């Protein structure tokens, strides 16, 4: 079986000095980085959806509590008097 993803930092620095325009990396390392980025994005999307769901729930509860589906107030004074 052998080593699947051999990565030698000193060798990569030496190769980078010799030929700076060439990037030496392995396929498995690229796949690992891609899966890490993909995992981070899906975690972030799940967090955003969870926060959005919570906000929409709170807004729905407030509209039911204060009975303000549509607020046709002319200014802030009338809106606060309607809520209070």
pLDDT digits (tens, 9 = 90+) for 46-66: 999 999 999 999 989 988 888
Confidence label for 31 from pLDDT (cuts 50, 70 and 90):
confident
Integer CA distances (angstroms), 84 to 20, 61, 77, in order: 69, 16, 11
What is the pLDDT, as a whole number, of residue 50? Answer: 94
- The structure tokens 């955003």 sit at 48
Residue among 3, 51, 65 nearest 29 (CA): 3
pTM over 0.85: no
What is the pLDDT, as a whole number, of residue 13? Answer: 73
**79 contact partners, CB below 8 Å, separation of at least 6:** 71, 73
Integer CA distances (angstroms), 63 to 35, 45, 77, in order: 42, 27, 18
pLDDT of 38 over the 60 cut: yes
What is the pLDDT, as a whole number, of residue 51? Answer: 95
């Amino acid at each position: 079986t052998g080593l699947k993803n051999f990565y030698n930092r000193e060798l990569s620095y030496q190769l980078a000095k010799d030929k700076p325009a060439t990037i030496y990396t392995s396929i498995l390392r690229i796949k690992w980085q891609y899966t890490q980025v993909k995992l981070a994005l899906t975690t972030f999307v799940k967090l955003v959806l969870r926060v959005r769901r919570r906000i929409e729930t709170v807004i729905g509860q407030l509209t039911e509590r204060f009975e303000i589906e549509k607020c046709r107030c002319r200014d802030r004074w009338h809106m606060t008097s309607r809520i209070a």
